[in-house]
Homo-oligomer: A and B are copies of this chain.
Amino acid sequence: MGRGGRERNGHAGARALDVAALAGVSTATVSRAFNAPEKVAPEIREKVLKAAAELGWMPHPAGAALASRRTWLAGVLIPTLDNDVFASQVGALQTRLSADGVTVLIGCSNYDADQAANQVRIMLARGVEALAVVGESHRPGFFETIAGRGVPYVVTYSHRPGSPHPSVGFDNAAAFRRIARHLLELGHRDFGLIHQPSIDNDRVLARLEGLRTTLAEEGVALRPQHVREGPVSIAFGRQSLRSIMEAPGPRPTAVVCGNDALAIGALIEARALGIGVPEELSITGFDDVAMAEQTDPPLTTMRVDNAEIGRRAADYLLACLAGRQPPPPPPLESRLILRASTGAAARSA
């Protein structure tokens, strides 16, 4: 500005000073009446609140943030809200943080590491005090940038033993080892796999690794012609199952799917092809969405409590903000839900 005058502040609303004047107190008291009511005599507090209401005043966020060095903002970075799994995680996180007065700012990476970095940069520029990010496959320096600003963070949806980051999630590799063991125990030796894009996606990569390793221990390998990678959709599940079953050579007796949407697609297509599930073909999903128990046959899948991930992430961050140095949260358990889409391997492939 430079000028002495802005006397009549062009526009906008009341300032703390106006409220103070109207209430006949100082701005310090106005501030305290709002931020530390117990430090202000009840009748004065009343007066201040009344004056504020009359002027429609509320502390200006930027002024407050600047002076108090608190923004009460936390950020969450997810691939997309179009996936229930992340949506419910964010929902639970928001609910929990909101209860402690922290507001959630959201960023979507669309499964792209550059967008992820960019969204986080912007959230930091908006003053987030804590951050929850899905996964740990990010650009080099990604976590350093966050930590460098003194912002506590937590990785969600995966929990890799040995990861240097605090994380709230489950062990994706272990979850798929569990699925693999289940099918091996049923006698399956010929497997198919339909999964989501794995690029920049540590969760998917860990799952594939868990599956492959466990199969390999029994001397079983996935044939490339029985593996499909593509978008998460019922349609892709259908089309993949069909092309897998049409591939030359012996058919798989079990098809493992990266999530329930793909598995439901596979199930629908198997029915359309007249392939009996589970007599001829076992199919597994992942997530245990609501629909999974309603399919025909109901889907064997892994259950993960996504809302719980959000809640724990929130609790962890809240503890960090409170200045405590919480221990890294323990991994969550994923649980195999046995339903009728898996059964003993057919005699011959």
Contacts and interface: CB of A to CB of B under 8 A. Distances in A.
A103 B121 CA distance: 11
Contacts of A71: 61-62, 126
B82 A108 contact: no
Interface stretch (A89-97, A173-181, A212-220): A89-97
A342 B237 CA distance: 27
Interface string A279-318: 0000000000011001000000000000000000000000
Contacts of A98: 107-108, 119, 122
A101 B118 CA distance: 11
Contacts of A91: 80-82, 108
B94 A81 contact: yes
A103 B125 CA distance: 10
A198 interface: no
Given A66-B63, A81-B87, A94 B108 contact: yes
B94 A106 contact: yes
B264 A294 contact: yes
A90 B122 CA distance: 18
A268 interface: yes
Interface in A56-83: 56, 58-63, 65-66, 69, 71-73, 80-82
B66 A62 contact: yes
Interface residues on A, range: 35 or more
Contacts of A119: 98
Contact of A233 (B59, B82, B101, B290): B290
Which of A72, A101, A126 neighbours the largest number of chain B CB atoms within 10 Å of its CB? A126
A105 interface: yes
A8 interface: no
A161 to B, nearest CB: 30
A311 to B, nearest CB: 13
B81 A88 contact: yes
A51 interface: no
A208 B284 CA distance: 40
Contacts of A94: 81, 106-108
15 contacts: A13-B149, A60-B127, A61-B125, A62-B65, A62-B69, A65-B65, A73-B126, A80-B91, A81-B94, A82-B87, A98-B108, A104-B106, A233-B290, A261-B290, A291-B291
For the complex of A and B, 7 pairs with smallest distance between CB atoms: A81-B91, A61-B127, A62-B65, A62-B66, A87-B87, A81-B87, A103-B126
Given A91-B108, A94-B108, 15 more contacts: A56-B148, A59-B125, A60-B127, A62-B66, A72-B126, A82-B84, A82-B91, A84-B87, A87-B87, A94-B106, A94-B107, A103-B126, A104-B105, A105-B105, A268-B294
Interface of A: 12-13, 56, 58-63, 65-66, 69, 71-73, 80-82, 84, 87-88, 90-91, 94-95, 98, 101, 103-108, 110, 119, 122-127, 148-150, 233-235, 261, 264-265, 268, 290-291, 294
